[in-house]
Amino acid sequence: MTASSNPIERSFEIAAERCEDLTPLVYRRLHGEHPETITMFRTEGSELVKGSMLALTIDAILDFAGPRTGHFRMIECEISSHDAYGTPRNLFIAFFGVIAGTLRELLGTDWSPEIDLAWRQMLGEIEMMVSQCTT
Ligand code: HEM
């Protein structure tokens, strides 16, 4: 497999070589940094919802950072459904940073300045998109 030249994709590729499933790591970090999120998910069946929410978010990130074929638009759609779930916008935005922090920890010294810059720029763009959304 050739390594991706897109730094965001590459960060996910390296993480995938080291960890089969990011789900427990991401939610442990989310719940640690934002304990109020623990009770936000339903008590039954939340494992499925959490796994699917993360998988769809990663699809959207890879599309946003890459071809922009359309999956990234899911982010805008989910803003309004999460407004309805009662998820504050700042937490919604924080989820992307939690994913970045999880990858950064897994990558260790492989988290290069290039990867860091690409993530910082993308997190800034996502934050702007979410905070400007009026739906
Ligand atoms: C800390 C931030 C977030 C919290 C607390 C949160 C919370 C939730 C909750 C409570 C549900 C499930 C509702 C239910 O029980 O049916 C859910 C579902 C979902 N969330 Fe989030 N969310 C967050 C961020 C995001 C982000 C950033 C995205 C993507 C851009 C996203 C995408 C989704 C999707 C696609 C589902 C539906 C999953 C499915 O049932 O297949 N969420 N979220």
Is residue 27 within 8 Å of 20, Cβ to Cβ? no
Chain segment 115-134, per-residue pLDDT in tens:
999 999 999 999 999 988 88
For residue 105, the model assigns a pLDDT of 98
Long-range contacts, 56-62 (Cβ 8 Å, 24+): 57/95, 57/96, 57/99, 58/12, 58/22, 58/99, 61/8, 61/96, 61/99, 61/122, 62/8, 62/9, 62/12
Q: Is 67 helix (H, G, I), strand (E, B) or coil?
A: coil
Pocket test for ligand 1, best of 30, 82, 125 (most atoms within 8 A of CB): 82
Q: Which domains does the chain have, with CATH numbers?
A: 7-132 (1.10.490.10)
Nearest CA to ligand 1 atom 28: 57
pLDDT, mean of residues 69-76: 93
Q: For ligand 1, is residue 37 a contact (CB within 6 Å)?
A: yes
Q: What distance in angstroms lies between residue 85's CA and the mean position of ligand 1's atoms? A: 8
Radius of gyration of the chain (CA): 15
Predicted TM-score (pTM) of this structure: 0.94
Report how far Cα 35 is from the mean position of its chain's Cα atoms.
18
CA angle 116, 117, 118 (to 5 degrees): 95
For residue 53, the model assigns a pLDDT of 97
Whether pLDDT at 3 is above 90: no
Q: For ligand 1, is residue 82 a contact (CB within 6 Å)?
A: yes
Chain segment 83-127, per-residue pLDDT in tens:
999 999 999 999 999 999 999 999 999 999 999 999 999 999 999
Nearest CA to ligand 1 atom 33: 53
For residue 4, the model assigns a pLDDT of 86
pLDDT above 90 coverage of the chain, percent: 88
For residue 113, the model assigns a pLDDT of 98
Amino acid at 92: F
Whether pLDDT at 44 is above 90: no
Q: For ligand 1, is residue 126 a contact (CB within 6 Å)?
A: no
